[in-house]
Amino acid sequence: MTQIFSIGTSVPGTTSGSLSRTVTTSPITLAQFGLAIPQGANRVILNATVGVTSTLLAPVLLFNVLRGNAVIFSCREEVLLNAGQELTVSFQAIDMNVPATSNQGYTLNVQLEAGLLTGATVTGPITFSGVSYTYP
C-alpha cells in the first residue's frame, strides 16, 4: 500500500507581480526545500509554478530541478509573448528510487537560453513542492 512519508514546500511569492528577479544566462535559484526520504522503494512527486514576464522578444527559459547538486529534471519553455506580457509556467516531475536520508534538498532554478535580444523577469507567483512516498 502506498504511504505518504514527507511533504516539503517553498513559496517565495504567492501572487503575480510579487517579485522582480531578472533571468540571466546563468542559473538563478527560485525556491528550495528539504524533504525526508523513506527507506526502500520510494518516489518523490515534485510540482512547480513560476510566473514570468517577457522583457525582450521571445525568451527561452530553461527550468531545472536539482536533488542536492544533481539535475534530476529539466524543461524548456519558449515565452511567446510581447514585451511586458505575463505567463505562468507549471510542470511536474517524479524522482524515483531516491537515496533514503533524513533531509534531501531540492532546488528549482531557471536560466535564459543564450540568444540575442531576449529577456525575461520572474514576477511571481513561485511555488515549489514535493511529496515523498513509499510504494509496494
Per-residue pLDDT of 78-110, as tens digits, reads: 887 777 889 999 999 999 999 988 889 999 999
Task: Give the per-residue pLDDT at 58.
Answer: 84
Instruction: Compute the C-alpha angle 72/76/110, nearest 5°.
Output: 70
- Domains observed in the chain: 3-134 (2.60.120.760)
CA distances from 111 to 84, 101, 102 (A): 18, 29, 30
- The amino acid at residue 5 is F
Quick one: which of 47, 36, 37, 38 has its CA closest to 130?
Answer: 47
Per-residue pLDDT of 34-73, as tens digits, reads: 999 999 999 999 999 999 998 888 899 999 999 999 999 9
Residues 6+ apart with CB under 8 A from 1: 136
